[in-house]
Amino acid sequence: MIDWFGFLTVALTTLVGAGFVVVMYSLGVRLTAVSSDDAEHVNQTAKWGSYVCFGFCVVAVVLAIILIVPHLNEPFFAMLEHLF
């Protein structure tokens, strides 16, 4: 028998996760372009905003890899139990 609730949970999580990575990456690219529009003045806020967006992308991808690979998620959850 198919667990439809589990299937729906995985599908929605995948959709939200992929959308988050795409939005953060495209926002980071846009902020990088905005920060260097003017050759004389660099917009530091946009520059740091792009770094934050790319950082969120890296964190999301690394967390997804940790959750998918069994050899990585067991030590990760053990570390979380130790911290909290």
Per-block average pLDDT, block size 10, for the chain (84 residues)? 92 95 97 83 90 97 92 89 89
Q: DSSP state, 26?
A: H
Report the distance separating Cα 19 and Cα 14, nearest Å.
8
Domains contained in the chain, number: 1
Residues in the chain: 84
Q: Are 29 and 46 in contact (CB under 8 A)?
A: no
Evaluate if pTM is beyond 0.75: yes
pLDDT of residue 2: 87
